[in-house]
Amino acid sequence: MFIPVILFYLIFRYAPIGGLVIAFKDYNFFDGIWHSPWVGFHYFELLFQDARTLEIIRNTLLLSLLSIVVGFPVPIILAIMLNEVRNIGYKKTIQTIVYMPHFLSWVIIGMLVSTIFAMENGIVNRVIEAITGEAYPFMYEKASWVAIFVGSGIWKDMGFNAIIFLAALTTINPSLYEAAAMDGASKLRQIWHITIPGIRSTIILLLVLSMGRVMEVGFDQVFMLQNSNVNQIADVISTYIYRIGLQGAQFSLTTAMGMFESVVAFILVFSANYIARKFNEGLW
């Protein structure tokens, strides 16, 4: 049963690593990967001589770190809240509602968000215009665009991510809650001293893994929400690779950028795991 999983990773994860050699060659279609001329670190030098590169890396780090800092606790809180619901029918209804956005594509989510925050006929701006008499350009201001980007990402995935924490909560011994209640502990005290410590290892595990995605901001979400007014903050590594690599056919340059992204992610994962090991919660 595990063979298809092994084959998937060998074919789609490990085999493509060989293509990173493109970053060190002046790649072209006619000569192919192995016969294109070797240029060493030329494209890495070219990449970091471009002032735009640092801006793109900054945007990627900013959006990704904001998504982690603001969004990471949300599934934990949601899972704890759902775990405290005793009405099974109500609990299942809420779970279904919060899970549904995960199964919608970013094309649909992007259209919904753009419609809700549109200047002319957006629902939010209709309310604001009724109160203040003037609409606000949510999708065209940098600060509000970042808030919408982070918020839409949290809304889409919080229900699905909460499943992991709900599963972890089932491993906590119910007698601990009973003993705490008999000692007079409030519900908040029980959550703080029993629930959170009970799922601490899961929290640290997912936090370490999320550090590997710090340099990875989803292309679909950014592409669907960005516009020319916010390109200074919305242009990230994934959109750079699409624009320069696929549209501009500069494959060696964008492969160098992708390799840089992977190396930084590798360092971050090992650093996060090293810190976690200090608390006896490391992955290895």
Which tens digits make up the pLDDT trace of 24-41?
A: 999 988 888 888 999 999
Which tens digits make up the pLDDT trace of 73-119?
A: 999 999 999 988 888 899 889 989 999 999 999 999 999 998 999 98
CB distance 190 to 180 below 8 Å: yes
- The pLDDT value given to residue 147: 94
* SS3 of residue 25 by DSSP: strand
- The pLDDT value given to residue 270: 87
Q: What percent of the chain is predicted at pLDDT more than 90?
A: 55
Phi, psi of 203 (to 5 degrees): -60, -45
Instruction: Report the alpha-carbon distance of residue 263 to residue 270 in Å, rounded.
Output: 11
For 43-277, CATH number?
Answer: 1.10.3720.10
Strand partners, 38: 25
Beta strands in the chain (DSSP E): none
- Eight-state DSSP code of residue 38: B
Which tens digits make up the pLDDT trace of 175-191?
A: 999 999 998 889 899 99
Residue 230: name the closest of 116, 154, 143 by CA. Answer: 143
Q: Hunting for tokens 């810190």 — which residue is that?
A: 275
Q: Which residues contact 34 (CB under 8 A, 6 or more apart)?
A: none
Instruction: Report the alpha-carbon distance of residue 135 to residue 131 in Å, rounded.
Output: 10
**What does each C-alpha distance from 256 to 43, 54, 134, 197, 259 come to in angstroms?**
7, 14, 46, 42, 5
- The pLDDT value given to residue 42: 92
* SS3 of residue 265 by DSSP: helix
Point out the residues of the chain with pLDDT beneath 50.
none
> What is the identity of the amino acid at 239?
T
Q: Where are the domains of the chain?
A: 1-40, 43-277
User: Whole-prediction pTM value?
Assistant: 0.88
